[in-house]
């Protein structure tokens, strides 16, 4: 699809002629009457002088929605820069052409799943019909379900590719298209893992070569449905992880944040003996409007308020929250230092899970984390004599870490069973959180107490994040360039001893290939990593401060140390805002 240029508008018509031409061409080729009608209405409003309609059309035709290592993700609506049936149709045919043409696979097997967002089922069914017509063997999930189920299915069934129609924890207006490769289409370390270069570029090239969406062949039948047998196999695989002889006396509150995780999470918890689980009723059933949360992400302020309210009411031991497609997991506990409930950070839960799998389950191998995640897990792994590789951001890289047995990223993504699901999986992680909480309770400890013990052994690692959301995407490279050209000489009063432009590659020092980002490290071990978000219009700054814990530190003194760590992080945020010209 081509987009309009910048020629002068026709007399009396506020819509640029080239833009109007592109929109009318889209309407002629769009296979979906809903988006055809929506765009026709927008054109009428814009032609009558409606400024918001004109701006919407201009943005919808500002370019193609880019297919990359996250697949597709964006707002739903008409136009090439939106998620819609036409864009999805081209993506499905492009992926099929990649499997059949670029890779030369005969009868490639493709598994397709979807979440409960608006249009997800339509997009999934259309993908099944198009890929079947192209010559693929397609197995479509019979109803909406969690993303980890598809990642599992790719490995379990030996599929050559997997598709999940989901926007994960994005706002309600968004949708997305996530792609996995496996079987004959991927190397051994890439079985059931999200795509990375060069596959993403080759698929994108095939998508570009697809003709008009209305002319793509669509089968009326021929695919098969995957149902309860796959879900049973997945449950059996993840439910084998918790120690059958371990304690189960723990009271759990669970929320799915209006997503698709409730059914599978409750089934897994109950099957493994965690009987006392209270669900947040208002958030338990799938609802694409996400009515009780501003953003359906457990990390966002207010997202788990209802869960915390219920936890106080039932005197729970732990809150477990999944994001809407259940590939992420968050936990909240009663913090004895503060006398109230609080969310564990992604890094805190990451080190707790890694320590638990290492010492309770005897895991040996690679304990991987992304470059923006805390170095705390590395200290724990090093002390135990196991490897802790650092990867680029995202599970498409974490899942490819050598000899992987556990991987995590600070954005509440955890892989606790890489041979079962080689991606983040919020449901198997939830089982480990439940086991952690039950074990701590049986031993008369708390998870905060275990964090204190790990801090005493390896140092107190405090992490936080500064996110700068923009409307104008050009501001992100401008801020990156400002930091490149004038990086701060000191962080929290300590000299910056390392400044790395990660876009130039850092294989010699970190083992990582080039990626857009900057890393600063000061003499007192304060670290900052700055990078553009891969899925949202944000610049993200990942902050970490490290402090020692004197021997014999009591709980009161530990609370003081944590407060001091939080104060330093707040000060570091202010320094970064100033360095980025956002003070």
Supply the residues annotated as catalytic.
Answer: 168
Q: How far is CA 172 from CA 42, 116, 119, 237, 292, in A?
A: 21, 11, 11, 32, 12
> Within 13 Å and on the Cβ side, how many CA atoms surround 124?
30
> Within 13 Å and on the Cβ side, how many CA atoms surround 235?
18
**Which residue in 259, 258, 257, 277 sits closest to 267, CA to CA?**
277
Q: Which three-class secondary structure state does DSSP give residue 20?
A: helix
**73 burial type by CB count under 10 A (0-12 exposed, 13-18 middle, 19+ buried):** buried
**Which residue in 177, 159, 201, 46 sits closest to 115, CA to CA?**
177
Distance CA(244)–CA(364), nearest Å, equals 20
Sign of CA dihedral 388, 394, 395, 401: negative
Residue entry with tokens 């409960």: 116
- Round the CA-based radius of gyration of the chain to a whole number and report it: 24
| Tokens matching residue 274 | 């965690």
β-strand partners of 390: 369
Residue entry with tokens 């309009």: 4
* CA distance from start to end of the chain: 41
- Ramachandran region of residue 273, left (φ > 0), alpha (ψ -120 to 50) or beta? left
Q: Which three-class secondary structure state does DSSP give residue 24?
A: helix
| Tokens matching residue 285 | 């059933």
Residue 244, Cβ neighbours under 10 Å: how many?
9
């Amino acid at each position: 699809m081509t987009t309009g240029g910048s020629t002068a508008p026709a007399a009396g018509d506020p819509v640029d002629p080239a833009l109007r031409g592109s929109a009318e061409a889209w309407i002629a080729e769009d296979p979906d009457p809903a988006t055809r009608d929506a765009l026709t209405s927008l054109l009428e409003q814009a032609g009558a002088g409606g400024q918001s309609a004109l701006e919407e059309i201009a943005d919808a035709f500002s370019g193609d929605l880019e297919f990359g290592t996250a697949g597709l993700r964006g707002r739903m609506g008409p136009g090439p820069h939106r998620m819609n049936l036409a864009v999805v149709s081209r993506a499905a045919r492009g992926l099929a052409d990649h499997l059949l043409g670029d890779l030369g696979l005969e009868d490639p097997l493709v598994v397709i799943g979807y979440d409960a967002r608006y249009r997800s089922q339509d997009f999934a069914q259309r993908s099944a019909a198009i890929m079947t017509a192209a010559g693929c063997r397609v197995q479509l999930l019979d109803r909406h379900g969690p993303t980890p189920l598809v990642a599992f299915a790719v490995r379990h069934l030996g599929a050559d590719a997997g598709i999940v129609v989901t926007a994960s924890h994005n706002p309600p207006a968004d949708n997305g298209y996530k792609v996995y490769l496996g079987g004959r289409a991927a190397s051994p370390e890439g079985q059931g893992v999200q795509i990375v270069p060069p596959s993403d570029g080759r698929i994108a090239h095939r998508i570009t070569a697809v003709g008009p969406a209305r002319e793509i062949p669509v089968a009326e039948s021929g695919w098969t449905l995957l149902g309860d047998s796959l879900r049973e196999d997945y449950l059996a695989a993840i439910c084998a992880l918790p120690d059958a002889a371990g304690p189960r006396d723990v009271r759990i509150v669970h929320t799915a944040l209006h997503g698709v995780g409730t059914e599978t999470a409750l089934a897994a918890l109950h099957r493994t003996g965690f009987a006392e689980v209270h669900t947040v009723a208002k958030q338990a059933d799938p609802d694409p409007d996400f009515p009780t949360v501003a953003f359906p992400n457990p990390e966002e302020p207010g997202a788990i308020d209802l869960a915390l309210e219920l936890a106080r009411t039932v005197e729970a031991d732990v809150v477990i929250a999944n994001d809407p497609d259940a590939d992420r997991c968050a936990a909240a506990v009663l913090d004895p230092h503060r006398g109230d409930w609080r969310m564990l950070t992604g890094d805190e839960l990451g080190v707790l899970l890694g320590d638990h799998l290492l010492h309770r389950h005897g895991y040996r191998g690679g304990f991987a984390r992304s470059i923006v995640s805390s170095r705390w897990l590395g200290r724990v792994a090093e002390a135990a004599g196991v490897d802790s590789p650092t990867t680029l951001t995202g599970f498409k890289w974490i899942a490819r870490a050598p000899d992987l047995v556990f991987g995590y990223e600070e954005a509440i993504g955890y892989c606790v069973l890489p041979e079962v699901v080689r991606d983040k999986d919020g449901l198997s992680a939830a089982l480990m959180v439940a086991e952690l909480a039950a074990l701590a309770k049986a031993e008369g400890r708390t998870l905060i107490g275990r964090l204190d013990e790990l801090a005493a052994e390896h140092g107190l690692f405090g992490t936080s994040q500064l996110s700068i959301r923009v409307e104008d995407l050009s501001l992100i490279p401008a801020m990156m360039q400002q930091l490149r050209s004038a990086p701060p000489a000191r962080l929290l009063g300590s000299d910056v001893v390392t400044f790395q432009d990660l876009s130039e590659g850092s294989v010699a020092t970190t083992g990582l290939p080039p990626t857009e980002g900057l890393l600063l490290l000061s003499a007192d071990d304060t670290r900052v990593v700055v990078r553009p978000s891969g899925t949202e219009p944000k610049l993200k700054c990942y902050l970490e401060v490290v402090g020692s814990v004197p021997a014999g530190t009591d709980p009161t003194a530990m609370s003081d140390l944590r407060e001091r760590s939080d104060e330093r992080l707040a000060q570091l945020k202010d320094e970064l805002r100033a360095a980025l010209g956002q003070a």
